[in-house]
Structure 1
Amino acid sequence: MKEEIQQQISDALGQLFDAVSKLQLAYPGKPFTPDGRLVGDIGEVIASLNYRITLNEGLTKHHDAVADDGRLVQIKTTFSDHLTFPVHHVPDYYIGIRLQADGSFEEIYNGPGQLIFDQLVNRKPTRTGLHGGLMSMLKRINKDVPDAERIPQR
């Protein structure tokens, strides 16, 4: 079942990026970058297929899923180098992934939200309510997250 869903996602992403390429050819001045809610939803589904989590129904505040052991998880996804972290709350656990056009992904961070917050404590709040520009920091601190503090993969 997992392989079938992953193949459907891969096929759909291929069609999406084919459409993006056509739009970019038609109007080269615009990037037509897939972003926002669509990317988040795709990332949540891919995370649910690869980590021991169950997604929350619909849109929920602060957390997107519950791990099999009950830990609450926020999932952030990008196709580029732009992962964000909330300014006004600290998610219990945070999974940040970078998707590829074929549906594969790179885990950027998997661990407690508090570890990220501790790195951002002196950053000024933004108007958007999200800290950005975190890719290198997330990769760096991800190396030190103990296995027991990670959300297990399936």
Structure 2
Amino acid sequence: MIKLPESVMALFEAHAAMCRHLAHTGFSFTLDGKLLGDIGEALVADAYGLSPPRKRAPGIDAYAVDGRSVQIKATQDENAGPAFTPGKGVADHLIFLWIDFRKEKHAHVLYNGPEAPVRELIRSKEKWTTTKRLNLAEVRAEDAKIRDDQRLPRLR
């Protein structure tokens, strides 16, 4: 688990207050998307000692100390798997986390291993032309197959 910093929790609490205040308007203000993804990337980069790429590349969010390219996916939905869009960018490694803002106030790493087996879950089911959210149970089953020497080690 990665403890959520106070600043991230303050942002979540401000978001929740805004949602309550404006609930009567009928608009929903989801925290998923780019902001949640950026929070996830920063938390993982800090915990695993990852470096951002010198030049942004599709499907690659960071590089590990050993040189592996890493894609980082995050969700705040405890029942959802990672979402992928078709494209040419494929990383060597994937870290997928669930950010629990409400109960434990931690980010839980649900997958830490090679990206290829997870992407294969998409390709094996159907033609892939749009964003696909994977089944969380299947992703967790793939994580259970990963050997310790295939995982990125936590540095903090």
Distance in structure 2 (CA, Å) of the matches to 1:104 and 1:54: 22
Show CA shifts across 1:113-132 (max 9, x none). Answer: 111122222322133xx321
- The alignment yields a C-alpha RMSD, in angstroms, of 2.4
The 1:62–1:126 alpha-carbon spacing in structure 2 relative to 1, beyond 3 Å, is same
Give the superposition deviation at 1:57. 4.8
Q: Does 1:13 align with 2:8?
A: yes
Q: Does 1:40 align with 2:37?
A: yes
Structure 2: segments with no counterpart, 5+ residues = none
Give the superposition deviation at 1:30. 3.9
Matches within 5 A, 1:2-151: 10-25=5-20, 26-27=22-23, 29-57=26-54, 59-80=56-77, 81-89=80-88, 90-101=90-101, 104-122=106-124, 123-127=126-130, 130-151=131-152
The 1:104–1:79 alpha-carbon spacing in structure 2 relative to 1, beyond 3 Å, is same
Amino acid at match of 1:88: G
TM-score norm. by structure 2 comes to 0.79
TM-score norm. by structure 1 comes to 0.80
Show CA shifts across 1:66-90 (max 9, x none). Answer: 1111111111111112521343343
Percent identity reads 27
The size of the alignment, in residue pairs, is 146
1:3 alignment partner in structure 2:
none
Structure 1: segments with no counterpart, 5+ residues = 1-5
Distance in structure 1 (CA, Å) of the matches to 2:133 and 2:51: 26
Runs of 4+ off more than 4 Å: none
